[in-house]
Amino acid sequence: MVNKYYFSEDNRESLPEVMDRSFTEDQIKEVYRDIIDKTEYHDFKEWLFDMLKSGLILHG
């Protein structure tokens, strides 16, 4: 079974291009690589941990 990640509604204004979609772990890494500000989050795992902890990304 493949893990799926979803962006919560709190991201609708800041990241509209990722809304209403599910992502595999490889795809969520691509989102980090292509979209996320690396000055705030230097590391993918740190970013994903914070996003999951804060409820901005949901895992299901």
Which of 18, 20, 22 has the alpha carbon at shortest distance from 2?
22
For residue range 9-37, list pLDDT tens digits in order: 999 999 999 999 999 999 999 999 999 98
Residues facing residue 40 across a β-bridge: none
Sheet holding 57-59, edge to edge: 22-23, 5-7, 57-59
- Return the structure tokens found at 53: 């902890």
- Percent of the chain residues topping a pLDDT of 70: 98
Q: Strands of the chain (E only): list them.
A: 5-7, 22-23, 57-59
Which of 14, 13, 47 has the alpha carbon at shortest distance from 29?
47
